[in-house]
Chain A
Amino acid sequence: DAGITQSPRHKVTETGTPVTLRCHQTENHRYMYWYRQDPGHGLRLIHYSYGVKDTDKGEVSDGYSVSRSKTEDFLLTLESATSSQTSVYFCAISVAGASTDTQYFGPGTRLTVL
Chain B
Amino acid sequence: AQKITQTQPGMFVQEKEAVTLDCTYDTSDQSYGLFWYKQPSSGEMIFLIYQGSYDEQNATEGRYSLNFQKARKSANLVISASQLGDSAMYFCAMRAGSARQLTFGSGTQLTVLP
Residues of A within 8 A of B (CB): 31, 33, 40-45, 48, 50, 58-59, 88, 90, 92, 94, 97, 99-100, 102-105, 107-108
Residues of B within 8 A of A (CB): 4, 33, 35, 37, 43-45, 47, 50, 52, 55, 91, 93, 95, 100-102, 104-107
Q: List 22 A-B contacts (CB under 8 A).
A: A31-B100, A33-B101, A40-B106, A42-B91, A45-B101, A45-B102, A48-B101, A50-B100, A58-B101, A59-B101, A88-B43, A90-B45, A92-B45, A99-B52, A100-B50, A102-B35, A102-B47, A102-B50, A103-B102, A105-B44, A107-B43, A107-B44
Main secondary structure of the interface of A (DSSP, over half): strand
Give the 3 A-B residue pairs with the shortest CB-CB distance, closest first. Answer: A42-B104, A105-B45, A45-B101
A48→B50 contact, CB < 8 A = no
Chain B residues near A107 (CB-CB < 8 A): 43-44
Smallest distance from the beta carbon of B48 to chain A beta carbons, Å? 10
Q: What's the Cα separation between A33 and B101 when bound, in Å?
A: 8
Q: What's the Cα separation between A42 and B91 when bound, in Å?
A: 7
Smallest distance from the beta carbon of A49 to chain B beta carbons, Å? 10
Chain A residues near B105 (CB-CB < 8 A): 42
Chain A residues near B101 (CB-CB < 8 A): 33, 45, 48, 58-59
B47→A104 contact, CB < 8 A = yes
Among B35, B47, B100, residue most surrounded by chain A Cβ atoms (within 10 Å): B100
> With A42-B91, A45-B101, A105-B37 given, can you name 4 additional A-B contacts, CB distance below 8 Å?
A42-B105, A43-B104, A59-B101, A105-B45
Q: What's the Cα separation between A99 and B56 when bound, in Å?
A: 13
A42→B107 contact, CB < 8 A = yes
Q: What's the Cα separation between A88 and B89 when bound, in Å?
A: 15
A99→B50 contact, CB < 8 A = yes
